[in-house]
Amino acid sequence: MSVHTVQHGDTLWAISNKHQVPMPDLLRVNGLRDADELIPGLALYLPRNHITDRYYSIVAGDTLWRLAIQFQTDISTILQANPGMNPYNLQVGQKIVIPSPLKNRIKTLGFIVPTTSPQFLRDFSMIAQQLTYVAIVAYSFTEEGNVFAELDDTAILVRSKQINVIPLLMIRNFTKGDFDRELVGNVLKNPVARTRLVQAIVSKIRQKGYGGVSIDFEFIPPPRRKDFNIFLRELKNVLGSLTLHVNVHSKTEDIPTNPIIGAYDYKEIGKIADIVAVMTIDYGYPTGPPNPISPLWWVEEVIRYSISEIDPQKLQIAMPLYGYDWTLPTNLTRGFSVLFAQNFAITSKFVIQYDIKAASPYYEYWVGKDKHIVWFEDIRSYIEKYKVIDLYNLLGATYWQISLPFPQNWEYLKQNMIIQKT
C-alpha cells in the first residue's frame, strides 16, 4: 500500500525506515515542514516504484485468463490481489484489483484564476506533466453577447504553451462576484445575442491562441435548456477541431424543472461536446450543513447516472483541492487549500478522523464556545476517486483550482498514471 496512516507513537524516521522511503522525500511529497509534524490520522503518501494496481468491474464473458492477457499480468497475481475470489464464478459488476504494468491513461484539466505570481508560475511548471489542459478563468460576457476579460490571462497563457499544457479559454456567466442566471438566460433565449456570443468566443480563442473553450454557465434558467443545447451546437460547429469542454452541475437523475440542474441535458450535451466535466464537488457547501465536499458514495451515484447519458470516454469528474471549515451553529464557512487543512490540524494537534463510506477526512475543534468541523481531502480520498475513474473507464479528472497546493496528488499522478497530452 502506498499510504501510511499515522498512529499514536509513530515517528517519521520509523516510517521512513519501515517503508524504505527517504525522509526528505516524505517531507517534500506530503507538504510537511519538519520531521516532527505528525498527528494521529494523518495520511502520508509513500513515493516508491511499484507495479500499479488497476481497478476493474467484471462484465459478461470475462475470465481471469482473458483479463491476465489484457492487463499483461498472470492469473496467480490477480488471485493474490483479491483474497477469497472464486476464479470460476466471476459475477457481473464484481469489482477486482489487477496489479499491472499498464498504467491508466487519463486526461486532466486544472482550473486557474490568472495570476502573475512568479511562485505560482514556477509551481505550474512543476506539475505540467500531470496536466493535459489548463482552463484559464478570465472571461465573462454581456447581455449583447460580447466577450470581455475580467482578468489578464497573458502570463498564464504564455507559460502554458511553453510547458506543453493545452490552454482553454474559460468563460462564465459571472458578474459582480457571482453567477448571473438572468444574464445567461437572456443571452441564450435571444438568437442574435447567442450567435454574437458564439462568434465572440471563437474570435477571442483564435486571437489569443487558445486550444479551445471551457464553458461554465451555472444556474441557467430551466426554460433555456434547449437554447443551451443550440448554443453549444452552434459553438462546436464554429470551433471545428478546437476543444469544446463543458462543465455541468452533478445530478443523479434528470429533473428538468430544477433551478440548479434542470437546464443540463446530459444526453444532448454529451453528443455535442468533446469533453463533459461533472462537478462532483461541493456536496458540502459554504453556509450549508457541514458535510464531505466530495463523498465517494455520492460521486459514484453521479457517475452511474452520467455514464447512462454520456460516453464515459468523454467524461471527467471534478476533484477539489480545497477544504471547508464550518462554525456551528451558524454554518459560517471559510475555505482553504487541502494542504492548509492538513497542516492546520498538525500545528494545532487535532486528530484527523476518516469517514470510510464518504472516503473523506475530517476533524473537529473548539474556539471558545464555538464548535468547528473541517472536511477536506487527502491522498486516501484522491486514490479512491482515481479508482472509480478506472472502474468506470472515464476520461479523467478536473481540479479546482491548481493554485491551491497539494503535492501528494501530483506525485501520485506522476507515479501511477499516464497523462495524455493530445
The CA dihedral of 222, 228, 229, 235, to the nearest 10 degrees, is: -170
Fold of 3-45: Membrane-bound Lytic Murein Transglycosylase D; Chain A (3.10.350)
pLDDT at 37: 85
Q: Amino acid letter at 198?
A: V
Domain 60-100 classified CATH 3.10.350.10? yes
State the CATH architecture for 105-319+379-419.
Answer: Alpha-Beta Barrel (3.20)
- What are the structural domain ranges in the chain? 3-45, 60-100, 105-319+379-419
pTM: 0.95
| Residue segments in the chain with a per-residue pLDDT below the cut of 50 | none
pLDDT at 25: 95
pLDDT at 1: 63
Do 3-45 and 60-100 fold alike per CATH? yes
pLDDT at 176: 85
Structure confidence by residue, pLDDT tens digits, 290-345: 999 999 999 999 999 999 999 999 999 999 999 999 999 999 999 999 999 999 99
d(CA 113, CA 119): 14
